[in-house]
Amino acid sequence: MNEMIDEILQSCKDETLKAINHQLNEYMVVRAGRANPHILDKVFIDYYGVPTPLKNMASITVPEARMLCVSVWDQSQVKNVIKAISMADLGVTPNDDGKVIRLVFPMLTEERRRDLVKDIKKIAEDAKIGVRGARRDAMDMIDELEKSGEISEDEQKVAEKDVQKIVDNACDTIDENFKTKEKEILEV
């Protein structure tokens, strides 16, 4: 097959993988009933004028299924860390005993679980939009090759089928990721 078509197909695969990885990264910060250190990934502290991720300033442990313990390395920053966690709107109130900040996650209500499922459904849809964008770009490039005479009409049809296979596989993976996370959230 044409080398340019191979490049287009590889580019399409790469873009669909980016969409899937983005979906998985977004799912990591969605709380599903048990404590997950990744929920703090988007918490930044103003550390001497520099926005610093919490994970770069403290050790985060999971001593129990519904509790996170945050041990800040620079004790002078504990108040800033508590403030940042409170402002992150994670649905938990930080408890400070002077050395360790404890985050106790309450049980999710049925209503909250349904809201979280809606949120992850939207994340899955956004990932599919990214995949469809990759398909559109690949199809446009294949059409250009055919119009310029670099590939035949038959090669165009075969390449378009290959692009569609890549897209279908990516959408199946996105749906599987959604179902897995949905099951995790709805599990009581």
Place of tokens 């090759």: 145
Highest mean pLDDT among 70-84, 101-115, 119-133: 119-133
The pLDDT of 116-142, averaged and rounded, is: 94
Please answer whether residues 4 and 115 qualify as being in contact, where contact means their C-beta atoms are separated by less than 8 angstroms: no
Predicted confidence at residue 158, as pLDDT, reads 93
pTM for this prediction: 0.74
Pick the CATH number of 3-29+109-186 from 1.10.630.10, 1.20.1250.20, 3.30.1200.10, 1.10.132.20: 1.10.132.20
- In one-letter notation, the amino acid at residue 85 is I
**Pairwise CA distance, residues 92 & 184, whole Å:** 20
Predicted confidence at residue 110, as pLDDT, reads 85
Going by pLDDT thresholds of 50, 70 and 90, the confidence category of residue 170 is very high
